[in-house]
Copies of this chain bind each other. A is one copy, B any other.
């Protein structure tokens, strides 16, 4: 272990200011409890020593780390990094640091990781719906009764605090839009789900199709990976079909980008030959050719609302409390990647 010039402690400040450390502590946290003269001496001593509070010692004493943990399936995805952006910003404003856990879902060493993160954070912001929620209940972080706010995916009957978007309605409205354009042959690249998370998005798709009296053809349903690769794979499968859907609903924008790109390379034009609709409205969606029709997710707002909720719980009164459930509205953004089906 390296040896550093040791940082000044509150004792050092106390010595310089010729008071006890208790007085220094009070001067820093509740100045009105200290006489003006002493306060000035202490301020001066703080500056001359270059003292900064040791957060670790403070956390130990106060039993609050002033840190939250955010679990994200994939930071590299702009969808999540925008959320993270908002979370870090708002948490910092309220004096909290943000620890990032990436790709916890599906990690067989989850137990270890959890051991690793436990007791470092006061609460958990869970954006990773690929985490197995039953396993989650067993984790020290959760069993330690630390507040947990779940986001990004809905678990209908779980008594948890949640912030999400109106996934089901969003998908229904996206598919409804395709139907309205005249499409009857509609496929989808769905997002991955875990056994215990019945995706609202799947349900929304099925519901919209049913309502329109359209069949769901298994060979028109692809499994995506929330990344460009999944869209490419779906496109290759699409190209190999005898009878092809004329419109495709994609689980996120990356998938749509991969799909459209691969078709273009094969000489198939979007939207003339196939309409594609994405989900999220990432920054580049508007600037693609064709510009991507998509369901905008209020990502920034999700981050803000989830952070505010978690910190309010952390700083609020103890005791039972009905779980909060915020539902944010998605918005259909119509651009150039969708059109009427070919004649």
Q: Give the B-binding residues of A (Cβ under 8 A).
A: 1-5, 7, 50, 52-57, 59-60, 62, 64-65, 67, 74-78, 80-82, 84-85, 88-89, 92, 95, 97-103, 113-120, 140, 143-147, 228, 254, 257-258, 260-261, 264, 283-284, 286-289, 313-318
Contact = CB atoms under 8 A, between A and B. Distances in A.
Contact of A115 (B53, B80, B316): B53
Contacts of A258: 287
Given A56-B119, A118-B52, A140-B52, A2 B314 contact: yes
Nearest to A84: B75
Given A4-B146, A284-B284, A120 B81 contact: no
Nearest to A260: B287
Contact of A120 (B50, B97, B115): B97
Nearest to A65: B56
A252 B291 CA distance: 21
A117 B102 contact: no
Nearest to A262: B287
Contacts of A92: 101-102, 113, 116
A283 B286 CA distance: 16
A223 B230 CA distance: 36
A119 B99 CA distance: 15
A99 B101 contact: no
